[in-house]
Amino acid sequence: MRNQSEAPSTLQDLARIAQSQLNAEESVSVVIPCYNEANFIRKVLENLADQYDSSRYEIIVVDGRSEDRTRDEIEAFKSTRPELPVVLVDNPARNIPVALNLGIAAARGEIIARMDAHAVPSEGYVRRCVEVLSQEDAGVVGMPCHVLAGADTMLARAIASAVSHPFGIGDAKYRLSKGVALQEAVDTVAFSCFRKSLWQELGGFNESLLTNEDYDFNYRVRRCGQQVILDRSGHCDYFARTTLRELAAQYFRYGHWKAQMVKLHPRSIRMRHSIAPAFVASLVVLALAGLVWQVARWLLLVELSVYLLLALGAGWQAARKTGDLGMTLLMPVVFATIHLTWGVSFIRGLFGLRLNRDDCLCA
């Protein structure tokens, strides 16, 4: 018979061991790539500060040697929350995949929460993602991304609406506001949680992809038999670009690096990835054919007219949703900026033309 005087001690020891294991398994490191984000980083850190128990939590900002007051803002935040470990890691490469790999390598937590200096997660975002990550076959967990205007201008609001509308970005479910199920397996999510051990197993983020590194990572997660889960119990607010020039530069990068991603993993391509390049190619073919064939000129006119009508319809729908109907006439310009820059860059990238690495800074 067990000595009763020993039982409590044994049970207490087991409880301590179990708690110790639980703490180790559930420790979380938030990793934030950052470059010249003085206007946003303080708000992001304040929002993340109470997302998890500070004794099992740290925030790692991987800064690409910012030239504004980003580091001052980080230090000012640290002085207000001394109990919360906030680590600053230097990223001389100034690009996102290197930033992520540097931050995760330095992380003490087993669970990594990949965040962004332009994004603010809803209350409980990190904790909920950690809970869902415990489900069987869950490799990566994220939530919908609500795109907000980065400035109080009609153009900024139009850009935010366009990059969260199906006509603008297709069926990327994490960008769309509605969904049938609370949870579903998807092809990718933006700001997600995953285990550091999975990152190690997959060899980290691909540093040759200066954009689309998250899609590549999530694709490899799915290839190894685990799921990428979109959980709609919360969301992350993302602040969109504010000018057409910034938007064009962003989607030019996206198109180029999506082409590199497709060359690496041809089976990863989705219908939404091919529509803009096909549209651009059709415009070029019809314009060239129209030099010698009148029917081609008429077909080009019809295609552009149909596109304009669709863009106006989608723009009116987006403007009605925001209550800013004056935005309707601006939306086709924004949609065209997205589709043409993305499509042109994808085609260029597919045929081996390169971008200047300075265009891919961690901004």
227-231 vs 183-185, strand pairing mode: antiparallel
| pLDDT higher than threshold 60 for residue 356 | no
For residue 26, what pLDDT band results from cuts at 50, 70 and 90? confident
Per-residue pLDDT tens digits for 27-78: 999 999 999 998 889 999 999 999 999 889 999 999 999 999 999 999 999 9
| pLDDT higher than threshold 60 for residue 318 | yes
Whose CA is closest to 237, among 164, 130, 166, 333?
164
Distance CA 136, CA 86 (A): 31
Which of 150 and 305 is assigned the larger pLDDT? Answer: 305
Annotated domain spans of the chain: 257-360
For residue 352, what pLDDT band results from cuts at 50, 70 and 90? confident
Per-residue pLDDT tens digits for 221-258: 999 999 999 999 999 888 888 999 999 999 998 888 88
Write down the pLDDT at residue 23. Answer: 45
Q: Give exposure, 192-229, as e/b (b: 16+ Cβ within 10 Å).
A: bbbbbebbeebebbbeebbbbbbbbbbbbbbeeebbbb
Average pLDDT, the chain: 86
Average pLDDT over residues 100-104: 96
**CA dist 39 to 10, 57, 73, Å?**
54, 24, 9
Write down the pLDDT at residue 354. Answer: 58
Exposure of 265 in the CB half-sphere (CA atoms within 13 A): 19
Which of 8 and 331 is assigned the larger pLDDT? Answer: 331
Average pLDDT over residues 144-148: 88
pTM strictly above 0.85: no
Per-residue pLDDT tens digits for 252-291: 988 888 888 888 888 877 777 788 999 999 999 999 999 9
Chain-centroid distance of CA 114 in Å reads 9
Write down the pLDDT at residue 5. Answer: 38
Write down the pLDDT at residue 10. Answer: 52
| pLDDT higher than threshold 80 for residue 363 | no
| pLDDT higher than threshold 50 for residue 360 | no
| pLDDT higher than threshold 90 for residue 91 | yes
| pLDDT higher than threshold 90 for residue 331 | yes
| pLDDT higher than threshold 50 for residue 185 | yes
Average pLDDT over residues 116-129: 90
Write down the pLDDT at residue 178. Answer: 60
Using CA of residue 40, residue 42, residue 43, residue 44, what is the dihedral sign?
A: positive
Which of 170 and 81 is assigned the larger pLDDT? Answer: 81
Backbone angles phi, psi at 240, to 5 degrees: -75, 170
**Proportion of the chain above pLDDT 90, given as a percent:** 61
For residue 194, what pLDDT band results from cuts at 50, 70 and 90? very high
